[in-house]
Chains A and B, each alone.
Chain A
């Protein structure tokens, strides 16, 4: 089955700790995206990548970092600089189908 997987489903972060959220897709899509979802605020774009080894900041990139070493993978690191990391994180990808992004199941990050 083709799709987007995110792991883990739940992640706990301690103060001062960096944590990495995984996003993998086997859809052969070129573009990948990371969004943050907070209650009542919709989704906000953190980072996106249109091609391997290239990525751009979104609207709320501060305190986050990404890499795109492989087409299938786009991990997101939440650094200790992100002071309010508790949220639901969604990964998406887009292929040749015009403008259309498809989403993974999400990772919920909680702070201990």
Chain B
């Protein structure tokens, strides 16, 4: 079975500072990894994904993530955050589980950007 751990439930950061949101996963097979962002009372928007190839993945809104197979991590980073980045961020994993291409989600990290 697959699982995703987002250790930080909340991350406060000042505007223009860098931020890293941590994600670790467990799986016995090759996985695909995703980061989604959710603004209040809205659906999830895809930020970026890792399927194969380069371990550094760039996404929308200036975010990037690095896949580290040995540490089973997929941390999300942004060098300089903006007030508009305040939202909840979800890490998810999908793998060849035998059907359905189901996503397993972490419990989310609330990013709060302060002036």
Interface of A is mostly: strand
Measured CA separation A99–B97 after assembly (Å) = 12
Nearest A residue to B9 via CB reads A40
B46 near A: Cβ within 8 Å? yes
B contact residues, total (Cβ < 8 Å): 24
A43, A58, A99: the one within 8 Å of B101 (CB): A99
CB distance from B5 to the nearest CB of A (A): 11
> Which residues in A have some Cβ–Cβ distance to B below 8 Å?
4, 6, 31, 33, 40-45, 48, 50, 56, 58, 88, 90, 92, 94, 98-106, 108
The 7 A-B residue pairs whose C-beta atoms are closest, nearest first, are A103-B43, A42-B105, A103-B44, A42-B107, A43-B105, A105-B43, A99-B32
- Give 20 A-B contacts (CB < 8 Å), ordered by A residue: A4-B43, A33-B102, A40-B107, A42-B4, A50-B99, A50-B100, A56-B100, A88-B41, A90-B43, A98-B51, A99-B49, A99-B51, A99-B94, A100-B46, A103-B43, A103-B45, A104-B43, A105-B42, A106-B43, A108-B41
